Amino acid sequence: MLRLGTGPRLAYRSPMTGIGPVEPVDSSDREESYDVIGTDGPRLTDRWSARWRGLPPRTRRATLTATTIALLAAGVLLPRTLSGDQRPEPEDTPVPWPANVTAWRYLGPAGLPEPPGTRPTSGRFRFAVDVRGGPPVTLQVTGAAFTGLTAHALPDAFTVHPGTTRRVTVEISVSDCSVLPQNADLPFLDVTLRNARAIQHHSFIFGQAYSRDLFRLLRGACAATPAPQPGRPTGSAGSQNAD
Amino acid sequence: MIVRRSMVILTSVMATGALTLTACGSRDDKGGDSDNGGGTTLTIGVDAPLSGENSTTGLGIQYGAQIAVDDANKNKLVPGVTFKLKAFDDKAQPATGQSNATAITGDKTAVGAVGPLNSGVAQSMQQVFASANMVEISPSNTNPALTQGKDWQTAKKRPYKTYFRTATTDELQGSFAADYAYNGLKKKKVFVVDDKQTYGAGLAKIFNEQFKKLGGSVVGTDHVNTGDKDFGSLVTKIKTSKADLVYYGGQYDESSLITKQMKDGGVKIPLFGGDGMFASTYIETAGAASEGDLATAVGVPADTLPAAKTFIETYKSKGYKGDYGAYGAYSYDAATAIIKAVKAAVDANGGKVPSDINALRSSVVDGVQKSDFEGISGKVSFDEYGDTTNKQLTVYQVTKGAWKAVKTGTAS
């Protein structure tokens, strides 16, 4: 007997690994829709039986004939289908968390080198972002590792579809030289990622090439800057001149 | 109206018929696979501390690999082959680990090993596995020198082609922790302690260097011995230093006592450590004194890995001891990498298990190097040094008596 009932929801939480920098999203997650399916309505067989008895004899005969033909056709076609590769139902594939399917790769500085003698306080850097699977992921760059820097992508928020790579430019601006290190390994970008499963705040860490290019900007912007007054920025994204 | 109603009924009846036929087909398929008995039994060794110090995380490694082996056997991942897991307790001692490696490689049914937990133990095992040309995959070793050589900071060179790991390295972990301490927690004065072991001392050194590069001050350093219980003199030094954070390179056994004695002694500053500290036992031992303490760990929280869901449910339902949270999923993937490499060797041999165990072991080393599959911890593949290409990290903080993720990151 087939009966749709409300099964126990799967409790899925490690006792020691509470999820931190994430927020839930109203999603089409299977577990979310499970409760809807499980409403305690009349049994299917009861409903079918009642409807069948209410049909005129001619309709019943026509239905029986059509059903017999359909079952015979299914008997021929289904074994072929079953002998093939049995792929899992899409419903069995859980929606991945966005940070687990998103990768960033540093490509290099964007644009032409600054003319000698200039001290830009912002620079543009190019990255390739790819999403390996799941639903599309929307990203927004929120920071560039160090206090004293601001960062944003151009455009500010962008979406990457699964199985694709999107090239993006990130503009990083020096806002306070007094709190910036002279050098550091493995600088990163702070990024907010959102897909149908969750919103995550995640850092993407880059290697030596990005570190070298970033600190070239920082050293250029801060080299001859007088000691900053507390709370007063020495440059900004909108200003190419130290103020 | 009647036509629409009839169509609904017709569709329902057809669906019922199709379901019936599908069910019959499934039973027939299972029957056809049932003649897969007999065949070869191959052993996968697992080495970790299974008793005493570090055993909470060590048991997580053992049972993570056990579930992978059970899944492979249940799903007949390699037709004709039944895998058996043989667990060895190294007690976190390098000499014991080396003896275990000799025992594993001496077993003529063994095709590979998962483990160990400790980087210092791994150093004593690597040569043994290399001599036997047998693959060894650690789900937890993080010392960079194990894969990139002792001069890894200046000239990377892989010491052993048989050694791999599914955990990322302390180069990343130490830097990530230093950044979070300096920029996230806004701590400027740190007291750095380590346990003089390969893992602990290496991690503390990386944190120390990176924290200073960022602009922070290291106001004191000290060392402890594994197994120590009384840290009174250390607490006094920390108190005198006026540090606003303690960083500890080592395992939870000592750090849980250090934080408790610190807080009891009136030093109310957080203790920050690496993956060796990321265990439920840390919180259980330190109690309320652990509140606010931090640890980095390899990978992202298991809760955010949908593919790990079944693994976690199995671990719990089997009532396995230990803690799967730190390395369980990485151990599962390490064992699966070995099993898939065996499958590749069998497939390349016309579907038969190579009769020469040395030839099979050699093929498995090559197969693991070529690994490329979606594991339960994410993508499983290795670079030219044997390091995982899945370089994810998480900062956890003890919040209301449980580890809570506060920052996650991925290195490219």
Least confident of A53-62, A95-104, B233-242: A53-62
Compute the distance between CA of residue A70 and CA of residue B168 in angstroms, rounded to an integer: 56
Establish if B365 belongs to a structural domain.
yes
Of A10, A17, A75, the CB nearest to B301: A17
SS3 per-residue string spanning A53-78: HCCCHHHHHHHHHHHHHHHHHHHHHH
Token digits of residue B340: 């898939």
Establish if B25 belongs to a structural domain.
no
CA dihedral B157, B160, B162, B168 (to 10 degrees): -50
Q: What are phi and psi of A12, to 5 degrees?
A: -135, 90
Q: Is A145 on the interface with B (CB under 8 A)?
A: yes
CA dihedral B137, B143, B146, B148 (to 10 degrees): 120
Q: Answer yes or no: do B292 and B310 share one domain.
A: no
Q: Answer yes or no: do B260 and B333 share one domain.
A: no
Helix, strand, or coil (residue B158): coil
CB–CB contacts below 8 A, A to B: 181
- State yes or no: cis peptide before B116, omega within 30 of 0: yes
Question: Residue B401: how many CB atoms within 10 A of its CB?
Answer: 12
The CATH number of A98-222 is 2.60.40
Q: Answer yes or no: do B152 and B222 share one domain.
A: no
Domain containing residue B217: 171-298+394-410
Nearest chain B residue to A21 by CA distance is B406
Compute the half-sphere exposure of residue A122: CA atoms within 13 Å on the CB side of its CA.
Answer: 18
Compute the distance between CA of residue B211 and CA of residue A135 in angstroms, rounded to an integer: 38
**Residue linked to tokens 């500290």:** B277
Compute the distance between CA of residue B377 and CA of residue B146 in angstroms, rounded to an integer: 22
In a 10 Å sphere around its CB, with 0-12 CB exposed, 13-18 middle and 19+ buried, how is residue B202 labelled? buried
Predicted local distance difference test score (pLDDT) of residue B305: 85
Contact B22 A78 (CB under 8 A): yes
Q: Is B210 on the interface with A (CB under 8 A)?
A: yes
Establish if B24 belongs to a structural domain.
no
Provide, as residue numbers in chain A, all residues whose Cβ is less than 8 Å from the Cβ of B25. 78-79, 82
Helix axes B198-214, B170-179, angle to 10 degrees: 40
- To the nearest whole number, what is the mean pLDDT of chain A? 68
Given a cut of 70, is residue A24 above it in pLDDT? Answer: no
- Digit-coded pLDDT (tens) for B168-214: 999 899 999 999 999 999 999 999 999 999 999 999 999 999 999 99
Number of domains in chain B: 2
Compute the half-sphere exposure of residue A242: CA atoms within 13 Å on the CB side of its CA.
Answer: 19
Predicted local distance difference test score (pLDDT) of residue B306: 80
More confident position, B394 or A68: B394
Task: Give the gap in angstroms from C-alpha B364 to the nearest C-alpha of chain A.
Answer: 27
User: Is the pTM higher than 0.80?
Assistant: no
Predicted local distance difference test score (pLDDT) of residue B1: 38
Contact A207 B396 (CB under 8 A): no
Q: Answer yes or no: do B250 and B346 share one domain.
A: no
- Digit-coded pLDDT (tens) for B43-72: 999 999 999 989 999 999 999 999 999 999
First to last CA, chain B: 61
Q: Answer yes or no: do B399 and B377 share one domain.
A: no
Q: Are strands B373-374 and B379-380 parallel, antiparallel or unpaired?
A: antiparallel
In A201-220, the residues whose Cβ lies within 8 Å of chain B are 201-207
SS3 per-residue string spanning A122-141: EEEEEEEEEECCCCCEEEEE
Counted residue by residue, chain A has a size of 243
Establish if B9 belongs to a structural domain.
no
Q: What letter would DSSP give residue B50?
A: -
The one-digit pLDDT tens for each residue of chain B (412 residues) are 333 444 444 444 444 433 333 333 333 333 223 334 458 999 999 999 999 989 999 999 999 999 999 999 999 999 999 999 999 999 999 999 999 999 999 999 999 999 999 999 999 999 999 999 999 999 999 999 999 999 998 999 999 999 999 999 998 999 999 999 999 999 999 999 999 999 999 999 999 999 999 999 999 999 999 999 999 999 999 999 999 999 999 999 999 999 999 999 999 999 999 999 999 999 999 999 999 999 999 888 887 888 888 999 999 999 999 988 889 999 999 999 999 999 999 999 999 999 999 999 999 999 999 999 989 998 899 999 999 999 999 999 999 999 999 999 999 8
Of B172, B111, B194, the closest CA to residue B395 belongs to B172
Provide, as residue numbers in chain B, all residues whose Cβ is less than 8 Å from the Cβ of A44. 12
Compute the distance between CA of residue B241 and CA of residue B250 in angstroms, rounded to an integer: 21
Establish if B23 belongs to a structural domain.
no
Q: Answer yes or no: do B45 and B142 share one domain.
A: yes
Contact B306 A94 (CB under 8 A): yes
Task: Give the gap in angstroms from C-alpha A33 to the nearest C-alpha of chain B.
Answer: 17
Task: Give the gap in angstroms from C-alpha A19 to the nearest C-alpha of chain B.
Answer: 5
Number of alpha helices (DSSP H) and beta strands (DSSP E) in chain B: 13, 14
Name the amino acid, one letter, at B146: L
Q: What is the CATH number of the domain that holds B270?
A: 3.40.50.2300
Q: Answer yes or no: do B215 and B330 share one domain.
A: no
Q: What letter would DSSP give residue B184?
A: I
Q: Are B102 and B366 in contact (CB under 8 A)?
A: no
Q: Answer yes or no: do B192 and B291 share one domain.
A: yes
Establish if B389 belongs to a structural domain.
no
Strand partners, B46: B87, B114
Task: Give the gap in angstroms from C-alpha A238 to the nearest C-alpha of chain B.
Answer: 24
Compute the distance between CA of residue B396 and CA of residue B271 in angstroms, rounded to an integer: 12
Q: Answer yes or no: do B292 and B189 share one domain.
A: yes
Compute the distance between CA of residue A7 and CA of residue A5 in angstroms, rounded to an integer: 6
Predicted local distance difference test score (pLDDT) of residue A120: 86
- Digit-coded pLDDT (tens) for A150-166: 999 999 999 999 999 99
Compute the distance between CA of residue B394 and CA of residue B405 in angstroms, rounded to an integer: 6
Q: Are strands B135-138 and B189-194 parallel, antiparallel or unpaired?
A: unpaired
Token digits of residue B224: 């402890």
Establish if B229 belongs to a structural domain.
yes
Best residue of A63, A67, A185, A210 to probe chain B, by most B CBs closer than 10 Å: A185
Q: Is B411 on the interface with A (CB under 8 A)?
A: yes
Establish if B129 belongs to a structural domain.
yes
Predicted local distance difference test score (pLDDT) of residue A8: 29
Q: What are phi and psi of A54, to 5 degrees?
A: -85, -5
- Digit-coded pLDDT (tens) for A184-216: 888 999 999 999 999 999 999 998 899 999 999
Best residue of B19, B304, B324 to probe chain A, by most A CBs closer than 10 Å: B304
Q: Answer yes or no: do B401 and B267 share one domain.
A: yes
Predicted local distance difference test score (pLDDT) of residue A23: 54
Alpha helices in A97-230 (DSSP H): 208-222
Task: Give the gap in angstroms from C-alpha A105 to the nearest C-alpha of chain B.
Answer: 6
